Chain A
Amino acid sequence: MKSILFNEWKNLLITPGMQIAAFVLMAALGFTAWAGLEEYRVVAQMEGEAKTHLRQQWESMGPSNPHSAAHFGTYVFKKNHALTAFDEGANSYVGRTLYLEGHRQNELVQSDAAQGDVLSRFGKLRPALILQIILPLLLLLFAFQSVRSERDADRLRLLLVQGVSYSKLLYGKLWSLWIPGMGFVLLTLGIQMGLLGFSGPLVSRALLLAVGYGLFYWIVIALALWLSSKTVKSYTALSWLLGIWIVWVIFYPKVTYSVAGILYPLPDRVEFSASMKEDRSALLDGHNPEEEALKVLEDSVLHAYGVTSKEELPINFDGLLMQADEEFGNRVWDKHFGELYDQMQKQKSLVQWASLPNPFGNLQSLSMGAAGTDNFHQVDFLREAEDYRRVFIRTLNERHAYGGSKTGDWGYKEDQEFFNSIADFQYAEPSFPDLIRQQTPSLILLLVWIGLLAIGIYRVQPKLSAL
């Protein structure tokens, strides 16, 4: 095996242009690793400054009515994961700014895609683009060339006569390409980790990336070796391999999402807003004191305090009303946004499992997931932000109710100290086990491919008679 490996590497190195190609690839990966990180840093710095600036505004608001403060609200910015520098995933297409206020759950706005032309349908030139699309194509072609040149020069017959096992030869070729392929992945991750600083969560995600790319490269090389061995004509093998690459990379991922969209349709925005509005109006509306639910709430509060009118209450009933309105609203948001997120998750699961014929789809999912740039992370951010909004608004409403004012006193103001005591939003990314759970189908399917191809390579026999 060792001699096969060294021989293959020697052959690779003497292939015309190979050293230049390897150098160009390394330089491109180095550059994209740096550029991705640089953008991440610039954006992170801007977000940090914006966050500080908005917090300063909040802390210098002066004495205000708590409910007015709920309308003043706060803004949170979707924080990029550091590994967005490796794989940008869906980040360009999701908004960055989220307005958190009373009465409603807003959505992220101002995506990168809405701020200019999208020039590349495959995203920015990040390491993932090179490692997912370009490098596998090269590995595919080199694996093909390796088998065909052996056969065309009739060296293969000689090797077999000397007792070399064909499967051993193929495995030798496989590892000889897989090792440099992985070298590029590890080099890129190494550069990014080095510049970002090693930390537990980052290293675990980087390891997941390395595993994913490692499995995929193994599949690509093994498939190329198997197909090149199985087919009689060079052109047929080459056509098959290039056809597979086109279908995997360009066609299949888009088709699976289109099918997922048909099987698990998402509501349109107008329909979504209308159904939320309808459900909302069926419940308590804090600004419309004519509803029956108000009466029930009012009676229960009056009874609890043993008084007969809101004016006699030692608290501000308006604050309780606003909070009750929030909680009714939250039930509506939970139902509709919950259904929306569930539907998106169903789409994702379908796409993952439907990627059985397309390991590229599994790699793409795994890469986006590990880099924290997939929809799973997006939804996780939105959920955490919404949880924060609810605590934020409840704090304000409760202060409005129990802060010392009486019902109807809309001129009541809280001092700045109270507002300063409300903590800012801090986002914590999903845990690694959650990430692994989300990516389990992708990992399983990649392993299924490995198993099938391992058997295929073990059993394949070369077509010696043909050119």
Chain B
Amino acid sequence: MKLRQAIHWEWKSLFSSPFLKSIIGVFILASIYGMYKGRQVFLHQKEILAQFHTESETAVAEALQLYQEGKLGPESRPWVNIRTPFYAYLVYLQPLVGLNPSPLMVFSVGQAESFPYFKRVDIFSSPYDHDMVPEISNPERISLGSLDFGLMWIYLLPLVLIACAMRIGSFEREVQLYKLIGTLGNEKKWKVQRFVALAIFFLLLLSLLLFIGWMMGEGQANLVEIGTMGFWAMLYLLFWLVLLFFLSELQLLQTGQALIFFMAWILFALIIPGAVQQAIALQFPNTLSLEMIDAKRSGKTEIYEQEFRITKAKILESHPELDQSLPDSLRTERALEGIYMAAYREFLSEVTRKLDSVQSEKVSRARAWFPINPVSFFHHRLSHLARTDYDAYQQFKQEITHKAEELNFQIFSQEWEGVVVDEKIFLQTKKVLNGNQ
């Protein structure tokens, strides 16, 4: 039989079975709905971040107006003096750090709903603060997993493939037709052609779904991004088809073949990922962030109780660009306190890095299992591309620490140098703190 004929008959068989028609229909609808859910999360996060960005711009505009009017601060808050770096930047330039959603989130919500995605940073902020809470959601819903395209493609697609392929060879064997097929031609070629027909059908479906997803992401994803997403999704499809083909070589009857196919799904989709997750949890239990609690309590006290001279020497050593000529008596109280604040900030960053390194180690160990955990591997590829995996969150956490360090340094260094903030300095500092935002 020619490939074209095989495709024709296989597709005809797919569309003549009410069961297969229903399951493929449900799969397509669920995938589209999953992309719609992904789009909702994407648009929501984008909207919230835009809202915060507008608030930041409003605060900057308010400060600029005060400078232009030659005022020291807003009338409603007489203690705020915008000529001092401390108030000017802490009140009007608090950086906003956001985990910017990718338009590919339409395809994979991943862990996006488990992570906080915005934070207004102050000088002592850390990614382990008690305001680092994710979007409000019902934890039971999150634990069941978002109904997103990633879930559909990674977990439901293999089941649809199993439903489509569980009769290939086994039915003919059961009704004693297999020998006849062998007599008429090469039975292995015939089986390969049937799997190829399935592959072509699902590749076309994938292309259609990618196009729909691209449209839902407001056409913001570029061709390379969509192509890469499609590449990994296609590899995953091929992985399952090859696996099912080899399993079908076990020459079982219908029930046996169905059972062995489902066992493969259970092994790859449930047992291996679940076992790895369990093993990693045993090795790296929740840190409870106790180190950060200690840092914010006893750690802070200890730093503020250190001898000023020693602390100052350490801080100025790490910032040689700062002026060291003036005696302390000529510096403001806030500039001197800034020494302790800088020391405490450094300490918080150190603890943050320590906690982060434990979590990074946990992630690396988990990913080391990918060669025997293909389902998690492919799932991770999709979430990684959609920036909804731990890597994106880790970047967000690092950005929080970086911005807090920068804000603290700007305030400390300018207080130290006795800078009187005017509009120009304010805008320069804004540029340093916000980068291109």
Q: Mark B251-292, 1 if CB is under 8 A from A, else 0.
A: 000110011001000100111011111111110111111100
Beta-carbon contacts under 8 Å, A214-265 to B: 234-236, 238-240, 242-243, 246-247, 250-251, 253-255, 257-258, 260-261
Beta-carbon contacts under 8 Å, A111-143 to B: 111-126, 129, 133-134, 137, 141
Question: Which one of A53, A250, A266 lies within 8 Å of B138 (CB-CB)?
Answer: A266
- CB pair B37 A258 closer than 8 Å: yes
By beta carbon, the residue of chain B nearest A239 is B19
- CB pair B155 A121 closer than 8 Å: yes
A94 interface hit (Cβ, 8 Å): yes
- CB pair A115 B130 closer than 8 Å: no
Q: Which residues of A contact B (CB under 8 A)?
A: 28, 32, 35-36, 38-39, 42-43, 46-47, 50, 53-54, 57, 72, 75, 77, 89-99, 106-126, 129, 133-134, 137, 141, 144-145, 148, 234-236, 238-240, 242-243, 246-247, 250-251, 253-255, 257-258, 260-261, 266-270, 272, 340, 344, 347-348, 351, 368, 374-375, 378
Shortest CB–CB separation between residue A1 and chain B, in angstroms?
26
| Segment at the interface with A among B217-225, B303-311, B361-369 | B361-369
B395 interface hit (Cβ, 8 Å): no
Contacts of A57 in B (CB 8 A): 294, 297-298
Contacts of A348 in B (CB 8 A): 138, 140
- CB pair B142 A93 closer than 8 Å: yes
Contacts of B116 in A (CB 8 A): 114
Known: A110-B288, A125-B278, A250-B159. A119 touches B273 (CB 8 A): yes
Shortest CB–CB separation between residue A177 and chain B, in angstroms?
15
A174 and B136 alpha carbons, distance in the complex (Å): 44
- Considering the complex of A and B, which 5 residue pairs feature the smallest CB-CB distances, nearest first? A125-B274, A120-B273, A239-B19, A90-B139, A113-B114
A150 and B95 alpha carbons, distance in the complex (Å): 72
- CB pair B276 A43 closer than 8 Å: no
Known: A125-B271, A254-B147. A268 touches B140 (CB 8 A): no
- CB pair B111 A118 closer than 8 Å: yes
- Supply 18 A–B pairs (Cβ within 8 Å), ascending by A: A46-B286, A77-B288, A95-B133, A99-B130, A114-B114, A114-B132, A117-B389, A118-B277, A120-B273, A120-B277, A123-B274, A125-B271, A235-B171, A243-B19, A253-B144, A254-B144, A258-B141, A261-B141
B23 interface hit (Cβ, 8 Å): yes
Question: Which one of B137, B163, B266 lies within 8 Å of A239 (CB-CB)?
Answer: B163
A122-B269, A247-B26 given; 9 more Cβ-contact pairs under 8 Å: A50-B290, A53-B294, A116-B390, A119-B373, A122-B274, A257-B138, A268-B136, A269-B136, A340-B136
Known: A114-B393, A347-B138. A129 touches B274 (CB 8 A): yes
By beta carbon, the residue of chain B nearest A62 is B301
- CB pair A250 B19 closer than 8 Å: no
By beta carbon, the residue of chain A nearest B360 is A116
Contacts of B434 in A (CB 8 A): none
B143 interface hit (Cβ, 8 Å): yes
Number of interface residues of B (CB under 8 A): 89
Contacts of A94 in B (CB 8 A): 139
Question: Which one of A43, A109, A235, A247 lies within 8 Å of B133 (CB-CB)?
Answer: A109
- CB pair B255 A148 closer than 8 Å: yes
- CB pair B270 A129 closer than 8 Å: yes
- CB pair B142 A90 closer than 8 Å: yes
By beta carbon, the residue of chain B nearest A92 is B143
Question: Which one of A116, A122, A251, A368 lies within 8 Å of B284 (CB-CB)?
Answer: A116
Contacts of A254 in B (CB 8 A): 144-147, 151
By beta carbon, the residue of chain B nearest A254 is B147
B430 interface hit (Cβ, 8 Å): no
A203 and B393 alpha carbons, distance in the complex (Å): 41
Question: Which one of B128, B143, B255, B393 lies within 8 Å of A110 (CB-CB)?
Answer: B128
Contacts of B414 in A (CB 8 A): none
- CB pair B293 A268 closer than 8 Å: no
Q: Is the interface of B mostly helix, strand, loop or mixed?
A: helix
- CB pair A234 B254 closer than 8 Å: yes
Contacts of B159 in A (CB 8 A): 246, 250
Q: Mark B351-380, 1 if CB is under 8 A from A, else 0.
A: 000000001001100110100010010011
- CB pair A113 B111 closer than 8 Å: yes
Shortest CB–CB separation between residue A230 and chain B, in angstroms?
15
B134 interface hit (Cβ, 8 Å): yes
Contacts of B319 in A (CB 8 A): none
B115 interface hit (Cβ, 8 Å): yes
Question: Which one of A35, A50, A111, A375 lies within 8 Å of B278 (CB-CB)?
Answer: A35
A149 and B254 alpha carbons, distance in the complex (Å): 12
B156 interface hit (Cβ, 8 Å): yes
Contacts of B19 in A (CB 8 A): 236, 239-240, 243
- CB pair B133 A374 closer than 8 Å: no
Contacts of B259 in A (CB 8 A): 141
Beta-carbon contacts under 8 Å, B97-155 to A: 111, 114-116, 128-147, 151, 154-155
A356 and B277 alpha carbons, distance in the complex (Å): 32
Contacts of B140 in A (CB 8 A): 89-90, 257, 348, 351, 368, 374-375
Among A94, A114, A133, A267, the one with the most B-chain Cβ atoms within 10 Å of its Cβ is A114
By beta carbon, the residue of chain A nearest B20 is A239
By beta carbon, the residue of chain A nearest B48 is A270
Shortest CB–CB separation between residue A21 and chain B, in angstroms?
9
Shortest CB–CB separation between residue A375 and chain B, in angstroms?
5
Question: Which one of B48, B131, B286 lies within 8 Å of A43 (CB-CB)?
Answer: B286
- CB pair B270 A120 closer than 8 Å: yes
Contacts of B294 in A (CB 8 A): 53, 57
Contacts of A270 in B (CB 8 A): 48, 51
B332 interface hit (Cβ, 8 Å): no
Known: A144-B255, A251-B156. A112 touches B141 (CB 8 A): no
Contacts of A267 in B (CB 8 A): 136
- CB pair B359 A115 closer than 8 Å: yes
A126 and B281 alpha carbons, distance in the complex (Å): 12
Among A38, A96, A239, the one with the most B-chain Cβ atoms within 10 Å of its Cβ is A239
B22 interface hit (Cβ, 8 Å): yes
By beta carbon, the residue of chain B nearest A38 is B282
